[in-house]
A = this chain, B = another copy of it.
Amino acid sequence: MRFEIVARDPGSAARRGRLYTPHGVIDTPVFMPVGTRGTVKAMTPEMLDSLGVPILLANTYHLYLRPGHETIRALGGLHRFIGWPRALLTDSGGFQIMSLQELREVTEEGVRFQSHLDGSSHWLSPERVVEIQLALGADIMMILDQCLEYPATHESAERAMNLTGRWAKRAKEFWQRRAISRLATTAASGDPEAPLAIHQSTDSALFGIVQGGVYRDLRRTSAEQMQEVGFEGYAIGGLGVGEPKAETYSVAEFTAALLPKDQPRYLMGVGTPEDLVECVALGIDMFDCVMPTRNARNGCLFTSQGKLAIKSARYARDANPVDAACGCFVCRKYSRAFLRHLFAVGEMLGAILGTYHNLYFYLDTMRKIRDAIGSGEYNKLWSRVRAANGGLNF
**Interface residues, chain A, CB within 8 Å of chain B?**
37-39, 41-44, 46, 62, 66-67, 71, 74-76, 81-83, 316-317, 319, 329, 333-335, 337-338, 340-342, 344-345, 347-349, 351-353
Contacts and interface: CB of A to CB of B under 8 A. Distances in A.
Contacts of A41: 347-349
Contacts of A349: 39, 41-44
- Quick one: copies of this chain in the complex? 2
B83 A338 contact: yes
B44 A341 contact: no
Contact of A317 (B37, B71, B334, B352): B71
B67 A337 contact: yes
A39 to B, nearest CB: 4
A221 B171 CA distance: 81
Contacts of A317: 71, 74-75
A369 to B, nearest CB: 29
A83 B347 contact: no
Contact of A37 (B67, B316, B347): B347
Contacts of A74: 317
A280 to B, nearest CB: 31
A340 B68 CA distance: 13
B333 A71 contact: no
B83 A333 contact: yes
A186 to B, nearest CB: 22
B348 A348 contact: yes
Given A317-B75, A329-B46, A81 B37 contact: no
